[in-house]
Amino acid sequence: MKHKYYQNFKSFFLLAIMVLGSFASFAQDRKVSGKVVGTDSQGIPGVSILVKGTNTGTTTDINGAFSISVKSANTVLSISAVGYKTKEVSVGSQASVSVTLEEDVSQLSEVIVTGYSVTNKKESTAAASIVKAKDLQIAPSGNVEQQLQGRVAGVTLITNGQPGTNSIIRVRGFGAFGGNEPLYIVDGVPVGSTDFLSPDDIESTTVLKDAAAASIYGARAANGVIVYTTKRGAKGKKPLQITYDGLYGGTDPNVNGAPKMLTPQEQADWTHVAYRNNAAANGTAVSYSHPQYGTSAQATLPTYLHFNGQNGVRGAVDMAAAQAAYAANPLTTFVIRPNLAGTNWYDEITRFGTTQRHSLGFSGGTDNGRFYIGLSAQEQQGILLENDFRRYSARFNSEFDLGKHVRIGENLQFTYRSVRGQSGGNGGLGIAGDESVILSAYRMPTVIPVRDDFGSFASTRAAGFNNPRNPVRQLMTNQINDQNYNANAVGNVYVEVEPIKDLIIKSSIGGQYNNSYFVNYNYRYLGDSEPEASDSFSEGSGYSFAWVFSNTVAYKYQWRKHGIKALVGLESLNTGRGRSISGSGINPFSMDLDFVTLNAVQSPVVNSNLFSGVNFYSLFGKADYNFDEKYYLTAVVRRDGSSRFGAQNRYGVFPAFSAAWRVTSEEFMKDLPAITDLKIRGGWGEMGNSNNVDPANQYSLYAARRDLSFYPIDGQSSGANEGYIRSRIGNPAAKWETSETTNIGFDATFLNGKWELVFDLWRKDTRDLLFNVPLPAVVGPNASAPSVNVAKMRNEGIDFQIINRGNITSELKYELTFNNSFLKNEIVAFAPGITNLTGGAFRGITPIRMEIGRSLSSFYGYKVLGYFNTAAEVTSAPAQSGAGVGRFRYADMDGDGKITPADRTYLGSPVPTYTGGINVGLTYRAFDLNMYVYASAGNKIWNQSKWFTDFFGTFEGSGKGERAKQSWTPALGNNALAPIWESASNISTSGAENSWYVEDGDYIRFQNISLGYNIPTKFSSKLGIKRAKLTLSANNLLTFTKYKGLDPGVGGAADTSFGIDVGNYPVTRSFNAAINLSF
């Protein structure tokens, strides 16, 4: 009996195990794989796959493939992606699903990244713009900011064609007298510039424009914030994904053509015209005294400009004697024939430069992590000879889940950059110095050839041509050895802990390490009128390390119709501590850079510097509330402390508030179906700026200077002892520049996304502007003036974006985007005792003066009424120093009957009042065509280069422009383009700032056109390629402008000397072919 019960129990137990096992097998997770494609059948990367009702999810890989675990046949997958309509799919018993997503033409789902948090445009109460990654890849620039021009309403960007340079970028105007650069954030790490970034590594770009968006960054956000997020892999078990992006092309320097200069014979003829005009003005006999053009009224060119020590040689010469002299001393023997056809010096110093960029991406993931590895190389030739840029980078991003509640990750990039022969100072902004190579191309007479008969570089050893230097020689012998190298590492590591649902604690530590080195070798050259008698050598290096430590706690909670998000954080950072050392000397023992050191030069000079960086300590918080996804409120506050300021003003508090109302969620809007979505928003806030003050500004400093303080401080009577002088006047009372921003706007979508309109009306008032106000000599003639809070400035404007999209046919789609910005910049107040501030001087001309009611860096000088056309006009006009027939005639602004400095007046502003862009996109089957036009208007340019080319008396004998042929004559009168051609230099000619230099800076540029073709998968798959695209593009094809200089995109070395053209590096035209592959 017992045995029977045992057998029955055993049978029942085994049956129970089998039944339970079967249920368990059904309850076990199973894998479902699939692919998400668009309407073009191409895979879509980065699509979110979420098991509805759970937190289980994954994302698609680069080809649109995914794999996810599901628990039952009733599972529903929610599939969503930026730019596409969300779709839900029932899994059922399928092991594989295929999903086609339709484009969501509305931009409401676009993600806005601030670095501390992520939200979508639908919920945002702030003014922020998003730039698509593909828009950053269209041109071979060395800096990703260059591609933002015209694509973001409210952003003014001035760039140039020089590879490896930084752009001038301003978000919603100019908020200070300096330090107006926006804050750059890369994967949560603040950086000084983004020249280390490869466009192919960028996933998204967000521009934060108003206080509601940017005040979370407090003291560093007054000039806007640009946030870059780099690429990441996708979670889920899948094979390794490989992508390749390649770009090949070249750049053409002659966008608007080379400057028009006088031919050799014309220069000779107009030199004699000047001599006749000089004689008439002075009442003397004409003297034709130029050493090259003969002594008769008819100017003639010599057989040799210079022959073995003689100038202006005509007739037969002893070439054998010259050859013997050259063999004996080649450095000082020249035989220079005139180039009768004329040397186009701009063409000689420029070239068609080649460009190539290659990027490899490796991405993958598991159920618990993801990674991305990016390798990039770019090599680009500048349009100037021997100007080259190279950048090589490696990026490593990864993120892993350690269980259900902990996540760790890192973002790390290593970059090596080298730039050779960079023109322009100030970080390579492309702003020409007073003796730049491009300016030398203006100043060099066309009659001088590039090389002489012996193959040496020809130059102004030939007398009568003043002191310009052969720019080809400068590039090929000096700038070829002007090399800069930089090794950079930037990144962060972070940990996120989610102890309870929707409560995330995050800690991140990151930084940036920079190591730089430069070397320069200038060879002596005795062929100039002002020869370089010595070889010179210099080199130097430096390093800096910046760090940031951020800690945040974020929580979100949804209760019925109430949604709450909160964020609090603590952050400390240092902008970069390090050292630098440099040295120079003359006549090194070797001319080979591989063997030259500072130990082997004569008269060595060594300098070193220590910099401690700027420390910030910050507390911040943000709260978001929404009711029924209809009403939104946001509040932000940040308290910053900075070592830039003294103890009494070290800390600042910066609050912001904003709200939005989704009108289309109201019942009464249901009767207006044409309005798909309408959100009205507004905000107010304060942001700080401390970029425009030296950390040492708070201290009075003293320095030992034997040359300035040679008195005996130790009781001895020797004047050789070093004393101390005051080197800086301190201002411990300096305080933060604070910007108060108000923004009102709306986001609207019509006809189910066919039309979109984003509109913002804004004002930014910045108070307590800092400026180095000159001090009386009695407080220390050799001391640097402190930065003092002296002014208030206002920027206000309108930004709007219009998008229209649709289908022309079932296969032909279009999208038109219009970005528009109107800006007014104005100084509204000065501190008591200050009436104006002035900028820098150029050749004795001071064209910048800032006054109340005018913009930053406004042009200032005498207003030209025309020219004195007769002697009677000279006599009857208000008394004017240097007045004469054919010279400038100025307006008597104060009506006192004489022309004095008090008559100088406002002449225009370099700040554009309008910037905008139009983008046209067409898609037909596997083809896409994109065209982009940029426009800038309402600003003036100070064309200082005319000072060198359009006056005979400025560097008399040097190269002159062809406008000389339209200089003043009695026949031309006030229709002349330049004053009378003569040697005199005074305030009535070339010696004063006046409106003649000021030109319209308006321009329209056909900035880009590209044609792409997606190769059908049925062809590319045969080669093992999952996706392939070919693109042809051209950039800066045409520019329409009235400006007479090389390029109307003129920036400045500083915000207080902005819009001045002294032979700046122009924007270049480029032609490129690109290929994008995924495996």
pLDDT score for 913: 95
Lowest mean pLDDT: which of 146-160, 496-510, 869-883, 887-901? 146-160
pLDDT at 21: 43
pLDDT over 80 at 389, yes or no: yes
Q: What is the predicted pLDDT for the residue at 988?
A: 97
Cβ contact 932:997 at 8 Å: no
Contacts of 686 (CB under 8 A, 6+ apart): 211, 215, 654, 655, 656, 738, 739, 740, 741
Maximum Cα–Cα distance across the chain: 150
pLDDT in tens, 479-498: 888 899 999 999 999 999 99
Identify the pLDDT of residue 595.
85
- Rounded CA-CA distance 546/190 in Å is 9
Closest C-alpha among 668, 763, 738 to residue 172 = 763
Reply yes or no on whether the pLDDT at 924 is more than 90. yes
Indicate the SS3 state at residue 895.
Answer: coil
* Cα 346 from Cα 349, distance rounded (Å): 5
Q: How would residue 8 be classed by pLDDT, with cut points 50, 70 and 90?
A: very low
Per residue, the 3-state secondary structure of 209-238, as one string, reads CCHHHHHHHHHHCCCCEEEEEECCCCCCCC
Q: What number of CA atoms fall less than 13 Å from residue 112's CA on the CB side?
A: 20
Domains of the chain with CATH codes:
27-100 (2.60.40.1120), 111-233+242-247 (2.170.130.10), 864-903+958-985 (no CATH)
pLDDT the model gives residue 217? 87
Is pLDDT above 80 for 833? yes
| pLDDT one-digit tens code per residue, 973-1015 | 999 999 999 999 999 999 999 999 999 999 999 999 999 999 8
| Confidence band, pLDDT 50/70/90 cuts, at residue 704 | low
Q: By the 8 A CB rule, do 940 and 1000 touch?
A: yes
pLDDT, position 775: 66
Average pLDDT over residues 736-757: 93
Tokens coding 808: 């022309």
pLDDT tens, position by position, 156-201: 887 777 787 777 888 988 888 888 889 999 998 999 888 888 888 8
The backbone region for 926, taken as left when phi is positive above 0, alpha when psi lies in -120 to 50, beta otherwise, is alpha
- pLDDT on residue 705: 57
Question: What per-residue confidence (pLDDT) applies to 423?
Answer: 57
Q: pLDDT above 70 covers what percent of the chain?
A: 91
CB 198 within 8 A of CB 391: yes
Residue 1020 has pLDDT above 60, yes or no: yes
- Which position has the higher pLDDT, 468 or 64? 468
Mean pLDDT for 869-881 is 96
pLDDT at 25: 40
State the pLDDT at residue 780.
57
Mark out the alpha helices in 984-1060 (DSSP H runs): 1017-1020
Most confident of 247-256, 696-705, 730-739: 730-739
For 929, list phi and psi in degrees, rounded to 5.
-125, 130
pLDDT-derived band of residue 675, with 50, 70 and 90 as boundaries?
very high
Q: Which pair of structure tokens corresponds to residue 609? A: 């510097």
pLDDT given at position 39:
74
d(CA 290, CA 312) in angstroms, rounded, equals: 9
Please provide the DSSP assignment of 470-488 as one string.
Answer: -HHHIIIIIGGG-EEEEEE
- Position 361 confidence tier, pLDDT thresholds 50, 70, 90: very high
User: Which tokens in the block code for residue 798?
Assistant: 């309108």
Which pLDDT band, with edges at 50, 70 and 90, does 12 fall under? very low
Asked if residues 517 and 533 have their Cβ atoms less than 8 Å apart, the reply is: no
Residues 208 and 156: beta-carbon distance below 8 Å: no
